[in-house]
Amino acid sequence: MKSHIINRLAKIVGEENVCTDPAEIFCYSRDSTPFQYFADVIVRPAKTTGVSEVMKLANENRIPVYPRGSGTSAAGSPLPVKGGILIDLTRMNQILSFDEENLQVVMEPGVICDDLNEFLKDYGYYFPPDPASSSVATIGGMVANNSAGNRAIKYGKTKDWILWLEAVLPSGEIIHTGSDTLKSVSGYDLTKLLCGSEGTLAVFTKIGMRVQPLPETYKTAMFLFDDLNRAGEAIVKARSSGVVPCAMEFLDKLTISTTADYAGLTLPDCEALLLIETDGIEAAAEKELKIITGIVKKMSPKEWKIAQDEEERNTLWVARKSAYAALARCSITTTMEDLSVPISKIPEALKRIQKIPERVGNQIRVATFGHAGDGNLHPTFLYDERISEQQEAFYKALNIIYDEVALALGGSITGEHGVGIIRKDFVEKEHGSVEMALMKGIKRVFDPSNILNPGKGKPWGSTGEP
Ligand SMILES: Cc1cc2nc3c(=O)[nH]c(=O)nc-3n(C[C@H](O)[C@H](O)[C@H](O)COP(=O)(O)OP(=O)(O)OC[C@H]3O[C@@H](n4cnc5c(N)ncnc54)[C@H](O)[C@@H]3O)c2cc1C
C-alpha cells in the first residue's frame, strides 16, 4: 500500500485509527473458516462520512475494500482475499434512538446483537433473530449475512426486521433505502437486496429496525433419542402439528457428548437430542408445548424433560449455543457447514451426513447440530488441516454435502452463513447461469470497478472474478 494512500486514510479517520502493524493485520486475517488472508491496512472509521471518504479514495485508486464486523463469519466472507483496505466497523457501535410508538430502534452497524437485546429488554422489547454467536456478532454483519439462528422458525431472519438502511456505495455516495413505515412498495426493495449481500454491494452505516414485544414466558423441552432417524421423523411430525414453536434445535451424538462436557450437563448416552421451545402468554405457550410434546413422544424418545425454571432453561441453551465452541476444542480444524433442506427431507439428510466420514476413508469426523425446525443443519467437520489426507477428505466431504445432500434433496448450499469463499464452487450449481448473470449485473450496477469485497462467490461463483 503506497504511503500517500496511508496518509490520506490517516487524514480521514485519524492516525490512531489506521493500522499497518503486521501483528494486528494478522489478527484480522481469519474468521471461523480455515482460510487466511492479509489486508494491507486496517481503518476504523467512527462516522458515515469517514466510511464515505474511504470508499471514494479506494474507488479512485481501484483499491479493494473489505468491510468487517466481529469476524465470526462461517463462510470467509469478510476475509481480504486481495489485500487492500479492511474497514473495521466496530467503533460505530452506538444505539442512536428507540421510538416506542413506532417500535423502531436505530443503530450503528457495530452494535453487538446481545447488547441490542439487553438495551431493548428494559423497554419490554427484543430483536428475535438469535444466532448462536449473538454475544459477539454485530448487527451490521448480521444484516450483511442475513443471519438467522434459533428463532428463525417462528420469527424469520435478520432481513425480516430491517426497515431501512443508510449505506455507502463503492463510489462513496450515501444512500438511504426503505423507510420508517412498515409497508412501502414504491420502488424495488433495495433494503432486502442489501440484506444478505455479504458486504459486496454497500457498507451499512446506520440501521433502522422494527422490534417485537418480549414474550411473557418460554416453555422449553428436551428430548433424547437412541435412534437418529426417529429424531428426524419427530422434527417433521412436530412441524406439521399446527403449532409453530419459537425454536426447534437438533444435536447429534458427538455434539451432545462434547457440549454436555463443556456446559457441565450430565446426559445419558444417546444418538440425538431435540430442544423445543414455545413462547407467548403463559397459557398459550404451555398448551403449545403440550401439543408438540404429545407428538414427539409418539416417536418414542428414550428420555424427555421440561425445564422447570429459568436456570434449567439457560443450561439447555448454553449447551446448544456452545456446540461449535465445544467441538472446536476436539480437533485442530473445525469447519461448520450450513445446508438447508425442505423439512420433510431432514431424516434423509441426517442419514446421508452421518455416512460421510466412512465415504471419505474415515479421515475426518462429523458432528451435526442446527436449527432443524427450519431444515437448517450445521454438519461440522473435525480434522487437522496440516495433514494432507485429512484436508483432501474434508474437500471430498464438502462436495458430498453440497451435491449429494443439499442440492440433491432440493435444498440450498447455505441457509444462513452465506457463500463467502467456502461455498463459491457451488453457488452456480444452485442458481444456474441465468440467475447468476442477473446477480452479476446487480453487482456491476452497484460496484462497476469491483472494489467492494472482491474475490468472493457472491456473485462471481467459483472463480471469484468478474
Ligand atoms: C460459534 C458461531 C455460531 C454461529 N451461529 C450462527 C447462527 O446461529 N446463525 C447465523 O446466521 N450465523 C451464525 N454464525 C455466523 C456468524 O456469526 C454470522 O454470520 C454473523 O452475523 C456475522 O457477524 P460479524 O459481525 O461477525 O460479521 P463479519 O464476520 O465480520 O462479517 C460478515 C459479513 O458481513 C460483512 N459486513 C460486516 N459489517 C458490514 C457492514 N457494516 N456493512 C456491510 N457489510 C458488512 C462482511 O464484509 C462479511 O461479508 C455463527 C458463527 C460462529 C463462529
DSSP per-residue string spanning 261-322: HHHT------SEEEEEEEEESHHHHHHHHHHHHHHHHTT--SEEEE--SHHHHHHHHHHHHT
**Span from the CA of 137 to the centroid of ligand 1 (angstroms):** 6
Beta strands 217-225; 303-306: pairing state: antiparallel
**Span from the CA of 369 to the centroid of ligand 1 (angstroms):** 18
**Span from the CA of 281 to the centroid of ligand 1 (angstroms):** 32
Per-residue b or e along 162-185, where b marks 16 or more CB atoms closer than 10 Å to that residue's CB:
bbbbbbbbbbbebeebbeeeeeee
Closest CA to 427 of 96, 217, 248, 200: 200
d(CA 448, CA 169): 11
> What atom in ligand 1 is closest to the CA of residue 415?
11
pTM of the model: 0.96
Residue in this structure with the C-alpha cell 437448517, named with its chain if needed:
376
**Span from the CA of 74 to the centroid of ligand 1 (angstroms):** 7
**Atom 13 in ligand 1: residue holding the nearest Cα:** 131
**Atom 46 in ligand 1: residue holding the nearest Cα:** 78
**Span from the CA of 383 to the centroid of ligand 1 (angstroms):** 23
Per-residue b or e along 314-335, where b marks 16 or more CB atoms closer than 10 Å to that residue's CB:
eebbebbbbbbebbbebbebbb
Burial class of residue 16, CB neighbours in 10 A (0-12, 13-18, 19+): exposed
Which residues have a Cβ under 8 Å from the Cβ of 208 and sit 6 or more positions away? Answer: 104, 105, 106, 162, 163, 164, 165, 178, 180
d(CA 214, CA 256): 29
Q: Probe ligand 1: pick from 42, 73, 166, max atoms within 8 Å of CB? A: 73
The pLDDT of residue 267: 83
**Span from the CA of 159 to the centroid of ligand 1 (angstroms):** 13
Architecture of the domain defined by 95-213 = 2-Layer Sandwich (3.30)
Contact (CB, 8 A) for 333 and 382: yes
Neighbours of 233 (CB within 10 A): 18
Q: Probe ligand 1: pick from 68, 158, 412, max atoms within 8 Å of CB? A: 68
The pLDDT of residue 252: 96
Domain boundaries in the chain? Answer: 3-88, 95-213, 217-324, 331-406, 427-463
CA 195 to chain centre: 12
Which residues have a Cβ under 8 Å from the Cβ of 442 and sit 6 or more positions away? Answer: 193, 201, 459
Question: Which CATH number is 217-324's, of 3.40.190.10, 3.30.70.2190, 2.30.40.10, 3.40.1280.10?
Answer: 3.30.70.2190
Neighbours of 343 (CB within 10 A): 16
d(CA 339, CA 372): 11
**Span from the CA of 329 to the centroid of ligand 1 (angstroms):** 21
What CATH number should be reported for the domain whose range is 3-88? 3.30.43.10
Contact (CB, 8 A) for 176 and 166: yes
The pLDDT of residue 1: 80
**Atom 50 in ligand 1: residue holding the nearest Cα:** 133
Q: Decide if 3-88 and 331-406 have a common fold.
A: no
> What atom in ligand 1 is closest to the CA of residue 418?
19
The pLDDT of residue 33: 92
> What atom in ligand 1 is closest to the CA of residue 194?
43
Closest CA to 207 of 68, 115, 97: 97
* Mean pLDDT of successive 10-residue stretches along the chain, which has 466 residues: 94 98 97 95 98 98 98 98 98 98 97 98 96 96 96 97 98 97 95 98 98 97 95 95 95 93 84 97 97 96 94 88 91 95 97 97 96 95 96 96 97 98 96 97 98 97 94
**Span from the CA of 263 to the centroid of ligand 1 (angstroms):** 24
The pLDDT of residue 62: 97
- Report the top-level CATH class of 331-406: alpha beta
With a Cβ cut-off of 6 Å, ligand 1 is lined by 31-32, 66-74, 77-78, 89, 109, 131-133, 137-138, 140-142, 144-145, 147-149, 198-199, 203-204, 324-325, 416-417, 453
Cis peptide before 448 (omega within 30 of 0): no
**Span from the CA of 72 to the centroid of ligand 1 (angstroms):** 5
**Atom 11 in ligand 1: residue holding the nearest Cα:** 147
Contact (CB, 8 A) for 424 and 460: yes
The pLDDT of residue 453: 98
d(CA 407, CA 411): 5
> Which secondary-structure segment (H or E) carries 65?
strand 65-68
Which residues have a Cβ under 8 Å from the Cβ of 183 and sit 6 or more positions away? Answer: none
**Span from the CA of 358 to the centroid of ligand 1 (angstroms):** 32
